[in-house]
Structure 1
Amino acid sequence: MDEDTKASHLSVVVDFSPTYWDLSARDPPENDFPLSLTAFLSQFLAFLNTHIACRDENTLAVFGAFPGKSVLLYSSTDPVSPSTEASMNANAYPPFQVVDSTIAQRVMKELDELEQREDEEEAPSALVGALAKALCYVNRITLPSSANSKTMANGFHPGVLPDPRILILSVSPDLATSYIPIMNSIFSAQKLKATIDVCQIYGPNTVFLQQAAHLTGGSYIFLERRDALLQYLIMSFLPPPSVRRTLSVPTQEQVDFRAACFCHKNIVDIGFVCSVCLSIFCQPLAVCTTCRTKFPIKTLQRLNAARPLLATANSNGRTSSQNLGVGNDSAVDGPSDQITATAQSVETFLSPSSSTSHLPALN
């Protein structure tokens, strides 16, 4: 089968945080373009139907990220439930009905259960858990050794594997504690050659999801007009990676490569990196809390002297480590000295061409 016409797999991770969807649905002046969860679902299901209609062999999986919980809402490999078959309309295309009814029923079920667990409504959305499940799903269907009768029955064989990609639809802001899991997910996606696309529907730009899209060759779009959601989805995220080479797909002009420190989980512009395990800290430590490496006294004295300048840099984001003269002291040698890392150095480390030998350092 030709590479440009082979089947495409799409895994979608949807953020169903009730708090932020309530904020997104509020009328002006709070929102210039309000978008309710009901309106979102109608346009979202139309996009999924479009993906299925592009090719019979295309496969689909939808994961929902709820407060404190992630759920598989739909999978092309799952059998159709008897209740769904009984409610199908003979005048409608069956695959469309299966997708629409299955996702709508399971979303309503999860939201109803969430109302009964009022204590979990304020919990952060399990977006990272849903992303991890999506990566596991992609790994299962793309590895030749994992191909089974179900995957063959859905139109592709071990020799004709789907073109995997993951689309994240987010409404929540960054969660600093999710930095390490997201970085591990990015490295896993790179190994699987899976593209991660991100559409930020509501709220500020997310630093970590920007990095996920950039480092996996995907697209990151901040939705300025939420009333045109379906057009954004179809024009930007419908073409598979093999087709995007010939299209002008929106890309990021600038990528925020700031990282979260391992000690306080704060996003920092300039931090201190352990030269052994590459853990990031917002202040110099005598002993790395991750790998227990001890650092020379001269290094700590030099870095502590630079802390006022680093604090200013973290507040305005304009000072670079080169201006501080840090990292060039010839009196410090050996592998056990700490160095400052700017956002640019983090970009170099996380680039797709970086050596995979650094991966265990972020576990």
Structure 2
Amino acid sequence: MANVEESGGDVEHLLVVIVDLCNAYEISASSKEHTQALSVKQCLDAVTTFINSYVLTCHGHSVAVCISHQAGSQMVYPSSMTSELSADDPRLQNTGKYEPLVHMNSILCDQVHQVVAKLSSAPADTVSTSTLLSGAISKSLCYIQRQNRELLIGRTLNSRILVVRSSSDSAPQYIHTMNCIFAALKNRVPIDSCVLWEDSGFLQQASDVTGGVYIRTPEPSGLLQYLLWVFLPDPSTRDHLLLPSSVEIDYRAACFCHHKLVDVGFVCSVCLSIFCRSTPICSMCNTHFKLPSLPTLMKSKKKKNHKHKGT
């Protein structure tokens, strides 16, 4: 799917996939709320097949995978904690399989099973209901920067991030998520978004600002089809394809005082903090706002009325 000029030896492509596992086991159990439930295994199989297709598309394609959940985020591939598979490993004995892909798939499967086991065993009152997306994007950007520094002279790296999300937005993470979005924009890293259940205002803004593609799958069971159709081509190739039209983007911001999404708010003129209510002192930069007091306004009105009566 890559262009002929970009598939040469001087250009490398890096795709960082962020998989959201927040409430994945709960969503698969409550299939009554959704017409077609999607289990963790089905989601992992679709993402793994997409990653394998991306790696086999071009020799210069490389992949990294980050898992995001309620308790944090972690890079699961490439993983320095995982040892190389031995030659006599039974997973490598099947003929017709590319050994690097078998190695990668086994690492992803083992790491995801460990994360899901920890989440399912944790008490319900100690685990939040939203994923730490900002931390996953931050780690992905750090990994991209490290790969850029390790490039040989004369080679370039085209990087992008793909977020596969199954949870809803968390207003307290608005500031951190927006900082990650602007960092990706400065480093020219597009953020693609594939949302499974409900629209995400944060990811809509991330894809629109960075030049990525946002899509909400109407049928979660067809996740693999949407991944291969929309997100497999490189950004330079998408101009020649007929992709889904963009939806109306939710640009609402979260206030800094109560962490709630607001349509109309009050903005500090010094630090640009957003508040849902008017306040005489900015809680972020301690700036005092000079607001006219009520007695002064009443006195000015009385003077005007007295002048009109005298005339």
Q: Does 1:178 align with 2:173?
A: yes
Q: What is the percentage of aligned positions where both structures have the same residue? A: 34
| Aligned residue number for residue 103 of structure 2 | 98
Match of 1:273 among 243, 267, 273: 267
CA distance in 1, matches of 2:183, 2:282: 26
CA apart distance, 1:286: 0.5
Q: Aligned AA for 1:81?
A: S
Match of 1:141 among 135, 140, 147: 147
CA apart distance, 1:35: 1.0
| Aligned residue number for residue 241 of structure 1 | 235
1:258-337 to structure 2, matched below 5 A, reads 258-298=252-292
CA distance in 2, matches of 1:37, 1:206: 20
Checking the alignment, whether the CA contact within 8 Å between 2:14 and 2:159 is kept in structure 1 is yes
Partner deviation per Cα, 1:54-91 (whole Å, 9 max, x = no partner): 1122111100012212111112x859723465342351
How many correspondences in the alignment? 285
| Aligned residue number for residue 131 of structure 2 | 125
| Aligned residue number for residue 64 of structure 1 | 67
Q: Secondary structure at the match of 2:240?
A: coil
Q: Secondary structure at the match of 1:162?
A: strand
CA apart distance, 1:2: 6.4
CA distance in 1, matches of 2:86, 2:65: 17
CA distance in 2, matches of 1:224, 1:121: 28
Match of 2:193 among 194, 198, 202: 198
Compared with structure 1, are the counterparts of its residues 169 and 25 closer, same or farther at alpha carbon in structure 2 (3 Å cutoff)? farther
CA distance in 2, matches of 1:89, 1:179: 47
Match of 1:46 among 40, 46, 49: 49
Which consecutive unaligned segments of at least 5 residues does structure 1 have? 152-156, 302-363
Partner deviation per Cα, 1:150-199 (whole Å, 9 max, x = no partner): x6xxxxx3422221100111111110000000110011101110000111
Instruction: Please state which structure has a larger fraction of its residues in helix.
Output: 1
Q: Secondary structure at the match of 2:65?
A: strand
Compared with structure 1, are the counterparts of its residues 84 and 222 closer, same or farther at alpha carbon in structure 2 (3 Å cutoff)? farther
Q: How large is the Cα RMSD of the aligned pairs?
A: 2.2
Q: Secondary structure at the match of 2:44?
A: helix
Q: Aligned AA for 1:248?
A: L
CA distance in 2, matches of 1:286, 1:193: 39
| Aligned residue number for residue 162 of structure 1 | 157
Compared with structure 1, are the counterparts of its residues 4 and 105 closer, same or farther at alpha carbon in structure 2 (3 Å cutoff)? same
| Aligned residue number for residue 10 of structure 1 | 15
TM-score for the superposition, normalised by structure 1: 0.73
Compared with structure 1, are the counterparts of its residues 55 and 84 closer, same or farther at alpha carbon in structure 2 (3 Å cutoff)? farther
Partner deviation per Cα, 1:185-236 (whole Å, 9 max, x = no partner): 011101110000111112x211111101110001111111111111100111
TM-score for the superposition, normalised by structure 2: 0.85
CA distance in 2, matches of 1:84, 1:179: 44
CA distance in 2, matches of 1:20, 1:290: 36
Compared with structure 1, are the counterparts of its residues 38 and 95 closer, same or farther at alpha carbon in structure 2 (3 Å cutoff)? same
CA apart distance, 1:106: 0.7
Checking the alignment, whether the CA contact within 8 Å between 1:25 and 1:37 is kept in structure 2 is no
CA distance in 2, matches of 1:124, 1:170: 11
CA distance in 1, matches of 2:57, 2:186: 27
CA distance in 1, matches of 2:103, 2:180: 30
CA apart distance, 1:112: 2.2
CA apart distance, 1:20: 4.4
CA distance in 2, matches of 1:93, 1:289: 57
Which consecutive unaligned segments of at least 5 residues does structure 2 have? 295-311
Higher RCO (C-alpha under 8 Å, 6+ residues apart): 2
Compared with structure 1, are the counterparts of its residues 126 and 32 closer, same or farther at alpha carbon in structure 2 (3 Å cutoff)? same
Checking the alignment, whether the CA contact within 8 Å between 1:84 and 1:102 is kept in structure 2 is no
Q: Aligned AA for 1:82?
A: E
| Aligned residue number for residue 345 of structure 1 | none
Deviates more, 1:89-98 or 1:268-277: 89-98
CA distance in 2, matches of 1:224, 1:115: 27
Compared with structure 1, are the counterparts of its residues 102 and 84 closer, same or farther at alpha carbon in structure 2 (3 Å cutoff)? farther
| Aligned residue number for residue 216 of structure 1 | 210
CA distance in 1, matches of 2:94, 2:155: 32
1:244-259 to structure 2, matched below 5 A, reads 244-259=238-253
CA distance in 2, matches of 1:263, 1:122: 20
Q: Aligned AA for 1:58?
A: H
